[in-house]
Amino acid sequence: MTDHPLVSTQWLADHLSSPDLVVINAWMPPVTHPDAPAVFPNAHIPGAVFFDVNEICDKSSDLPHMLPAPHVFSSAMRKLGIGDGQTIVVYDDFGFYSAPRVWWTLKSMGAERVHVLDGGFPKWRAESRPFVDEAPRRVQSHFSARLNNGAVADLEDIRTAIASGDRQILDARSSERFAGDAPEPRAGLKKGHMPTALNLPFTELIHDDGTFCTREELAEAFKRAGVDLDRPVTTTCGSGVTAAILTLALTILGARDLALYDGSWAEWGSRDDTEIATGTD
């Protein structure tokens, strides 16, 4: 097996029959197309299970797809047949969208061997690799969820980071949304960004063919964004999904002391007691 956060389609094809491997189809429709249908019922990688980000979440929160409590997550993983000690490969229908979020969720809940499929299902299908439409049959397994609280930032953590400057805040949204020049796709949110935040649109980390940038390309992208890889970083975005793409890239680069703001702009931009900055300075 591999320790790298990413695995190739060839690697997955070579290991697909491994008894300790489980494949997850991470699903969340884009906020701009909330009614988009999941591909999974009609086509998925053989043996893959379906992880709906909008269902395996904290249903008591008014914010979108917040992390569930550990015992709720354990129950959901058990029903999917995901257990302790397994090697997990996560992919999504778009290449890089919700798969890194599920990767981060599993890692934050204590899973150790979790990877993202580079290029996702589009690359898998483009290479004429096998896919099926029948539901998988997996035996329920025991998953011991142990939340790493340091991996998750909340509203007060962001306020502290802004006031102290001890942590870099890195926003994955587009430069137009970050600057406040474009409207937010979620209704009722203010335009702009958190004071002191830096901006690195997640799209800059993905090649035109849908594969992830190389380590060297990633390092250059973070350098352009003004990120110091030796200092703590908290990632954020619209609702805590594409922020995980930045966290994935930072992990590949060996950065430490990483957190993800789960509420992200869905929380910060909806409140009357949060400070908003605009422009690019």
Q: Catalytic site residues?
A: 237
Percentage helix, strand, coil for the chain under 3-state DSSP, each rounded to 5: 30, 15, 55
Distance CA 142, CA 161 (A): 37
Exposed/middle/buried for residue 160 (C-beta within 10 Å: 0-12, 13-18, 19+): middle
Distance CA 277, CA 9 (A): 41
Distance CA 94, CA 238 (A): 18
Q: Which residues, 6 or more positions from 33, have their beta carbon under 8 angstroms from its beta carbon?
A: none
Asked if 199 contacts 176 with a C-beta cutoff of 8 angstroms, the reply is no
Distance CA 251, CA 9 (A): 20
